[in-house]
Amino acid sequence: MIVLGVETSCDDTAAAVLEDGRSVRANLVSSQDAVHAPFGGIVPEMASRQHIQAIQPMVDRALERAGVAAGELDGLAVTHGPGLTGSLLVGLSFVKGWSFRTGIPYVGVNHLEAHVLSIFLEKEVSFPYLALVASGGHTLLYVARGFGAYEHLGGTLDDAAGEAYDKVAKMMGLGFPGGRVIDDLAKQGNPRAVAFPRARLRTPYDFSFSGLKTSVWHYLTRKRPDRWRDEMADIAASFQEAVVDMLIAPTLRAVEEFGIRNIVLGGGVAANSRLRAKLAEKAGEAGAELHCPSLRFCTDNGAMVALVGSHLLEQGDRSGPRLNADPALIL
């Protein structure tokens, strides 16, 4: 079965072609970072306009790269939530129209489920596993018990982890998006240089990053910029260590509580080098194993959408003309 996956939930226009539910024949992403960078964050109206311009060329290029003619597709898969309404509507309308025109069946895919399952693009992991999804819009922890069977353990009570990265990078004048820049800068810094706080919550599997963000802001504004500019790497490393610690603690608690031995990462923040290294080490100490998708499958991509779509189509699921974008879709 050859499936086209389309992803436009946020600021990346992505298209991929997947064969037999696993083999990635093409996976292309058109980033809008340069468009949103001057604003220090994603401007929703601009994001949907960019998707409109990019979607047809991206799909054409993905088919060309895969060596697949449009008529050879057995199914179409598209993210229909959660995300920015205008952005979601571009991908969904495009795929719906295509399906209506050609008769090729399509299914709507939950973006969060795609992140939870993206590891299967590269390796098999046995259920049940803990899935930590951390991106610019979400920070969530699930037990994945099988395809379509997810138990929500917790999530962020305020900012998403990626959002905290992006806002702190903005405060420090490092541009947008901030995750990768802070990750790189932190490699030259001391993670114990500044004692930024770790949120302590009553709910064991939840996360909170807004207090940390405010704490960095206070640290920066208490000093003159020419003073803290010398310690940028230390601030980045110390901030990052706090984020990583707060992502790891609930995950390890769940390993202990549920006795689950596999942990899977997903979402843009899963690309973070310190998170990958420290969680792998701590998971090992707790008798668990960490499974990380490659960077291109951590950040938003069409292949993970095609993966979930292939599974749904194979079990006979079909979406119809009434399916709508759902910005607040949960998993």
Q: Which residues bind ligand KG4 (CB under 6 A)?
A: 10, 135-137, 162, 165-166, 177-180, 183, 267-269, 271-272, 299-300
The span of 63-71, 128-136, 139-147, 167-175 binding Zn ion (CB under 5 A) equals: 128-136
Shortest distance (Å) from residue 112 CB to Zn ion: 8
| Distance in angstroms (rounded) separating the CA atoms of residues 50 and 52 | 5
In the list ligand KG4, Zn ion, none, the entry touching 180 (Cβ below 5 to 8 angstroms by class) is ligand KG4
Closer to Zn ion by Cβ: residue 110 or 240: 110
Q: Is there a cis peptide before residue 197, judged by omega within 30 degrees of 0?
A: no
- 262-266 vs 149-155, strand pairing mode: unpaired
Q: What single-letter DSSP state applies at residue 328?
A: T
Q: Report the Cα 233 to chain-centroid distance in Å.
A: 25
Report which residue's Cβ sits closest to Zn ion.
135
The span of 51-59, 135-143, 172-180, 182-190 binding Zn ion (CB under 5 A) equals: 135-143
Query: Facing residues of 159 across strands?
Result: none
Shortest distance (Å) from residue 214 CB to ligand KG4: 18
Please work out the total of residues on this chain that contact Zn ion, with binding judged by CB under 5 A.
2
| Distance in angstroms (rounded) separating the CA atoms of residues 96 and 127 | 32
3-class secondary structure, 91: helix
Which residues make Cβ contacts (< 8 Å) with residue 39, sequence separation at least 6? Answer: 176
Closer to ligand KG4 by Cβ: residue 61 or 296: 296
- Does the protein bind Zn ion through residue 135 (CB under 5 A)? yes
Closer to Zn ion by Cβ: residue 212 or 305: 305
Query: How many Cα atoms occupy the beta-carbon half-sphere of 12 within 13 Å?
Result: 23
Closer to ligand KG4 by Cβ: residue 18 or 168: 168
- Does the protein bind Zn ion through residue 27 (CB under 5 A)? no
Shortest distance (Å) from residue 166 CB to ligand KG4: 5
Shortest distance (Å) from residue 238 CB to Zn ion: 26
| Distance in angstroms (rounded) separating the CA atoms of residues 111 and 94 | 17
Element (H, E) at 198: none
**DSSP letters of 263-303?**
EEEESGGGG-HHHHHHHHHHHHHTT-EEE---HHHHSS-HH
The residue type found at 43 is: V
Candidate list 300, 308, 309, 325; residue touching Zn ion; CB under 5 A: 300
Residue 259 Ramachandran class (φ > 0 left, ψ -120 to 50 alpha, else beta): left
Residue with tokens 């290029």: 61
For the chain, how big is the Rg over CA atoms in Å?
20
In the list ligand KG4, Zn ion, none, the entry touching 299 (Cβ below 5 to 8 angstroms by class) is ligand KG4
- Does the protein bind Zn ion through residue 240 (CB under 5 A)? no
Shortest distance (Å) from residue 308 CB to Zn ion: 13
In the list ligand KG4, Zn ion, none, the entry touching 75 (Cβ below 5 to 8 angstroms by class) is none
The residue type found at 142 is: Y
Shortest distance (Å) from residue 304 CB to ligand KG4: 10
Shortest distance (Å) from residue 133 CB to ligand KG4: 8
The span of 118-126, 187-195, 293-301, 318-326 binding Zn ion (CB under 5 A) equals: 293-301
Interaction site with Zn ion (CB under 5 A): 135, 300
